[in-house]
């Protein structure tokens, strides 16, 4: 895209596109680019709003839905909404029947981190206070 590396330019170009005249896959791509541009501008909350479209949950399982959900999970993580981010990454992994993202690996990593935190909490509770 001509706006590559220039998020404001990308947003301007996207506004010029008549969304009603493009195919669904192109519309998804434009949405992902717009959300990424907002995030690049430091507007993470606005980027999340950009992705809150019916296709986020209404598309059939596959690449486009998985990519939307993956991007949404990443933005939630950036916004510090970790539990929601993990939930949406799991949704992305379930949607990614074509293997277009690394959502499944990310979910496994997150599960490993959660387990490690659980183990640490258990170790701390097992410690006996000096008496």
Domains (ranges, CATH) in the chain? 7-119 (1.25.40.10)
Give the DSSP letter of residue 20.
G
The verdict on pTM exceeding 0.85 is: no
**Cβ contact 77:40 at 8 Å:** no
pLDDT in tens, 114-123: 555 555 455 5
- Are the CB atoms for 78 and 44 separated by under 8 Å? yes
Q: What is the pLDDT of residues 18-50, one digit of tens each?
A: 988 999 899 999 999 999 999 999 999 999 999
Mean pLDDT confidence for 79-107: 95
Quickly list H helices, the chain: 7-15, 24-40, 44-51, 55-58, 63-78, 82-95, 103-126
Cα–Cα–Cα angle for 72, 19, 91, rounded to 5 degrees? 20
For 110, the token pair is 């997150």
Map residue 81 onto helix, strand or coil.
coil
Please report which confidence band the pLDDT of residue 113 belongs to, taking 50, 70 and 90 as the band edges: low
Asked if residues 10 and 34 have their Cβ atoms less than 8 Å apart, the reply is yes
Encoding tokens for residue 95? 């949607």
The predicted pLDDT at position 19 comes to: 86
CB 8 within 8 A of CB 41: yes
């Amino acid at each position: 895209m001509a706006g590559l590396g220039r998020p404001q330019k990308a947003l301007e170009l996207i506004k010029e596109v008549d969304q009603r005249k493009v195919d669904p896959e192109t519309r998804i791509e434009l949405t992902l680019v717009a959300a990424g541009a907002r995030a690049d501008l430091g507007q993470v909350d606005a980027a999340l709003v950009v992705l809150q479209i019916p296709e986020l949950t209404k598309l059939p399982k596959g690449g486009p839905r998985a990519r939307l959900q993956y991007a949404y999970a990443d933005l939630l993580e950036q916004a510090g909404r970790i539990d929601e981010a993990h939930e949406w990454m799991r949704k992305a992994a379930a949607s990614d029947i074509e293997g277009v993202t690394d959502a499944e690996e990310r979910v496994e990593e997150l599960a490993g981190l959660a387990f490690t935190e659980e183990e640490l909490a258990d170790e701390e509770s097992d410690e006996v206070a000096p008496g």
